[in-house]
A = this chain, B = another copy of it.
C-alpha cells in the first residue's frame, strides 16, 4: 500500500474519530501499522492527551523510537515530560545517536544528565561526545558509527572485519581507510571491495581524493558538499584528520529542506521556523519585532516627506507618485537580494565576487529603471501636461530602481563577508532602506527640477 501525503488527512480524521469513540481495539491496529513519519504528522494536530493515548497503544519499542526521531522537538519534549525515565531511556537506546543528542541538548541539564546516567555506558559516552559539538555543525549531526580500516589491510581481511565487527552499522556504504596514525587517507565503496582479488591491500584500490568535513563545519556546508558530489555519506574528521563520524544523505535531505525554509522565512522577516502550527498569540509575538524595522523606516519616510512639505504644498499631486516609486524600488530590490542570498546559499555565488555581482545588479537596475521610468514619465506628462514633471518622476523611478538593485545586492554580500547570515539582512532591512532612499531622492529631484 502506498501512502501519499493527502492520505495523511484521511488518517488524521480516522484517528480522531476513533479517539472520540474510544475504539481502542481498532485504533491499536491502525497505530501499529502506520509509519512513524505519518504518526508524527498526525501528532501535530492532536492535543497532548490524545498524543499520550496514541503513544500508549504502540506495541513496539523500535516503532516508538522512530516516532521519537520523527516528532517535532516541541511536541516530543511535552510528550516525555511525565514519562518514567527508564521508559524514555529504553526508547532512546533504539534511536540513532544524533537524534538522541539533539533531544538531550534541548532538555534541562539535570534532566539530560539523569537520562544519560540511566543509559548503557558506551551509548551515553557516544551521545555525550556528540553533545560537545554545536547543534548545527557536522559534529552535532554526525553518526559515530562508521567503518575505518588500516590501509595495509587486504580485501579479504576487510570483508571478514565487516562481518565480524561492523554488522550493526546503520549505513554501510563506504569503508574509510586510515594510515597508521589513524589519519583519513582514502575511501572504498563496499562494491569495489568484493570485485578485487582477496589479497589486494586497501591502499592499492582506495580513492585518495576523499571528500571530508571537519567537526565544526556548518551543517549547511556539509549539505552543500553531499549535494555537489552526489555521495551517500561524508566522513567527519577532527583537527588531526582522524575520522570521528559520518553524516548520511538522509540527514542531508532534512537539512536542505530546513535551511531552505529558514532562508525563505528570514528573507520575509517571518522568523526562522514555520510557525503555522503555533497559536495566534505566539505567532503574533514572533512576527511583531520583525515589523518594527519597517515601522521605524516608515516613520523616517514620514519625516522626510514632512521636511519637503513646502514642495508638496506647491504641487500636491507629487504625492500620487509615491506608491509607484516606492513599489518599483522595493520589488527590484527584493529580486536582487533574493538572487544574491540564494546564490550564496547554493554556492553559485562566491563572496569574493562582490564587485562583479554588485556591478551586474547595478547595471540591470539601471536599465530596468530607465525602461519603467521612461514609461512613467510619459504617463505623467500626458496626465498633467508638464514635461518637467515627466522628467522628474522618470528620474525618480530610475534612481529608486538603481539604488534598490545596489542596496539589494551589496547588503547581503557585505553581511556574508563579515559572517552575518545574509538571509536576515534581506527582508526588513533592505526593504526599509530602499523605501527611505526612494522617497528622499524623489522629493530632492522634484524640488530641484521643478524649482519648488
> Could you list 5 further interchain pairs (A-B, Cβ under 8 angstroms) beyond the known A1-B209, A232-B249?
A9-B352, A274-B339, A298-B328, A305-B317, A327-B432
Is the pair B324, A326 in contact by a Cβ cutoff of 8 Å? Answer: no
- A2-B210, A2-B211 in contact; A287/B250 too (CB < 8 A)? no
Min Cβ gap A417→B in Å is 13
Alpha-carbon distance A224/B297, docked complex (angstroms) = 39
Give chain B residues whose Cβ lies under 8 Å from the Cβ of A330.
Answer: 330, 431
A4 proximal to B (CB < 8 A)? yes
Chain copies in complex: 2
Identify 14 residue pairs between A and B in the complex whose beta-carbon atoms are under 8 Å apart, listed by A's number.
A2-B237, A4-B221, A232-B232, A256-B260, A261-B342, A264-B341, A276-B343, A276-B348, A287-B335, A287-B364, A291-B328, A298-B323, A305-B322, A319-B322
Partner of A326, one of B37, B323, B328, B379: B323
For residue A334, CB closer than 8 A to chain B, the reply is: yes
A150 on the B face (CB < 8 A): no
B-chain residues with CB within 8 Å of residue A264 when the two chains form the complex:
260, 263-264, 267, 338, 341-342
Q: In the bound complex, how far is the Cα of B324 from the Cα of A99, in angstroms?
A: 45
Would you call A324 and B348 a contact (CB within 8 A)? no
Q: A276-B349, A291-B332, A312-B316 are in contact. Are A249 and B260 (CB under 8 A)?
A: no
Query: Is A269 positioned at the interface, with any CB of B under 8 Å from its CB?
Result: yes
When distances are taken between beta carbons in the complex, the residues of chain B under 8 Å from A319 are 305, 312, 316, 318-319, 322
Query: Does A448 make an interface contact (CB < 8 A)?
Result: no
A386 at interface, CB cutoff 8 A: no
A367 to chain B, nearest CB (A): 5
Q: Which residues of B contact A152 (CB under 8 A)?
A: none
Given contacts A224-B5, A253-B226, contact A372 B276 (CB under 8 A): no
A305-B331 in contact (CB<8A):
no
In the complex, the answer to whether A327 meets B280 with C-beta atoms within 8 Å is: no
Instruction: Identify whether the interface residues of A are mostly helix, strand, loop, or mixed.
Output: helix
A383: min CB distance to chain B, Å = 8
Contact A316 B327 (CB under 8 A): no
A418 located at the interface, meaning its Cβ lies under 8 Å from any Cβ of chain B in the complex: no
Q: How far is the CA of A346 from the CA of B330 in the complex (A)?
A: 27
Sorted nearest first, the 5 A-B pairs with minimum C-beta distance are A298-B324, A260-B260, A319-B319, A268-B338, A301-B323
Nearest CB on B from A63, distance (A): 12
Whether A439 is near chain B, meaning CB under 8 Å from some CB there, is yes
User: Is A347 interfacial (CB 8 A cutoff)?
Assistant: yes
